[in-house]
Structure 1
């Protein structure tokens, strides 16, 4: 079926508009030539903070880069992402170093000690100039919220990290100082969640 004159006019206007947008995008991309490691924060009450970080880890593996994942809360359960990443030992280490959420452990002193061990491991990888292209600190924001670690230590490590190293931090309630220090901040907002309707966490979706 041949197009009507009205459709021809609509298509012509659309093509002209897309050419303008294409030219503007080309100019914008041409102006952005700097490359450096980014500080990335995924926060907010919605689902997807860790999932997004692990997606970046998968991309890094695809480019032959090396990633260290340190989990500050999770540790007591097996997850699908760990099973996948363990298949790429030359490109990623996946270290669940937590002992569960603080309302489950109910031992503040132990939570602080566990957080310290995990942070020292993460900091060593973050500051290493010769290894690990990306360091992911999963749920570090929760540790900071409960003041298990001094925020200033994290900010100092950010300031001292090698130029090209990416640092990803996840968890709800990111402190404002961390948001200010970051290059990329995404807030996941919850619109609807099956848990509110009585659906429990399920393998492959939540873990």
Structure 2
């Protein structure tokens, strides 16, 4: 058998395989007809939780859907790339940067609790507001991990007051089991390798 014939046979087998694959996919997709507002959780030790969530935010902006973003840990003093870009769309984005930095910076539990409470009250208003199609609660998992907010309160609110059509995305390591249980979509970022361990510091455009 010549090389040309072997190639033609391989291409024919591939085409037949992909045809059957497409038929199966089309059949499956035809059964997926519902739409709803999703509760999405990005957690895990790997990098990319906020970055992936911001990808959804920017998709909404591209479709001119209003979004709300509450950052629970990042401080207004931090000069982040996402804040710079989001502020270019004031008609579509409500951005609330309400943290005071990492917990080891403040070293004041009562102050951290008060800051978390203020950010959560703002988050509830954005979720209740009919204007915003998606609300990102960046690093809320960290706040819950340190018990700055009661997880039962957060879960109860999301169950009872999140509009059925609204997407809510929550990021941060160590997501509470109670939150994972009620979520529609949960992604765990797995740490395989990180440049920090090789002595490389956080860099603009990658970490912030």
- TM normalised by structure 1 equals 0.97
Name structure 1 gaps, 5 residues minimum.
none
Q: Does 1:199 align with 2:204?
A: no
State the partner residue of 2:154: 154
Spell out the pairing of 1:41-80 with structure 2 (5 A cutoff). Answer: 41-75=41-75, 76-80=77-81
Distance in 1 between residues matched to 2:9 and 2:33, nearest whole Å: 38
Structure 1 ranges of 4+ moved more than 2 A: none
Q: Which residue of 2 aligns with 1:15?
A: 15
Give the CA deviation at 1:152: 1.0
SS at match of 1:4: helix
> How many Å separate the matches in 2 of 1:204 and 1:63?
24
1:109 aligns with 2:105: no
Aligned-residue offset at 1:125: 1.1
The RMSD of aligned alpha carbons is: 1.1
Superposition map of 1:46-195 within 5 A: 46-75=46-75, 76-128=77-129, 130-160=130-160, 161-195=162-196
Cα offset, 1:169, TM superposition: 0.1
> How far off its partner does 1:127 sit?
2.0
Q: Is the 1:72–1:97 Cα contact (8 Å) retained in structure 2?
A: yes
Distance apart, 1:143 and its partner CA: 0.2
Preserved CA contact (<8 Å) 1:127 1:157 = no
Cα deviations by residue, 1:38-95 (Å, 9 ceiling, x for unpaired): 0000000010000011110000001110110000000131101110110001111221
Tell me how far 1:3 sits from its aligned partner: 5.9
